A and B are shown apart, each in its own frame.
Chain A
């Protein structure tokens, strides 16, 4: 079975540019999560969706960040404009029935983002 698929794997861009990260969750999973990982702050949850609807975006750092899930098989995380401090590895994860706490989350391999 295909796992969570993220693209691109690496992104290098200049400050001020728009960045779009993409995620395809595991088929049939109804929860989708976006995380960010840095050396300083570790793994942080940014936002999560249930049935394509954003449920909790309290981890989104500021208005420059936005996330959408137009359908059950696709989500995007957009940063506009990007800043050097946004450099991090961004992970997408999916899960089924997260209302049940024994369900694991399945993570993609991440997008390593570098803002110059």
Chain B
């Protein structure tokens, strides 16, 4: 499976934008880029995913580099509730039931008031 690399931790101030990077230099043309986050004492929560084009939803935006070797999760205005571990995960488009979610160590985001 292609691997992802994320910083161990990042800090942000409340109401400021946050850019969480992810490197995936060995990504294949058939890998989706998924982001999940895990708030304290909760299970992981889906945030967003994309393939080639940038994506927006109510939670965040996903910016994907043209060569797809990196991506950035953007939280437009961080709130205290966004403090969590953020996971960047690659998932093969094909493969049916074999394409599992494999969680790495993620980025621990701290948000300061």
Contacts and interface: CB of A to CB of B under 8 A. Distances in A.
Interface stretch (A63-71, A79-87, A105-113): A105-113
Given A43-B44, A102-B49, A106-B46, A55 B105 contact: no
Interface residues of B, number: 24
Nearest to A44: B103
Contact of B41 (A4, A93, A105, A109): A109
A81 B15 CA distance: 49
Interface stretch (B5-13, B19-27, B62-70, B90-98): B90-98
Contacts of A110: 42-43
A96 B105 CA distance: 26
A43 B102 CA distance: 8
A4 to B, nearest CB: 8
Contacts of A99: 96-97
A91 B105 contact: no
Contacts, number: 51
Contacts of A101: 32, 91-95, 99
Nearest to A50: B97
Contacts of A48: 97, 100
B100 A91 contact: no
Nearest to B51: A102
A102 B42 CA distance: 22
Contact of B44 (A50, A91, A98): A91
Interface string A4-28: 1000000000000000000000000
B1 interface: no
Contact of B45 (A31, A45, A55, A107): A107
B106 to A, nearest CB: 8
Interface string A21-65: 000000000010000000000110100101000011000000000
Interface of A: 4, 31, 42-43, 45, 48, 50, 55-56, 91, 93, 98-99, 101-102, 104-110
Interface of B: 32, 34, 41-46, 49, 91-105
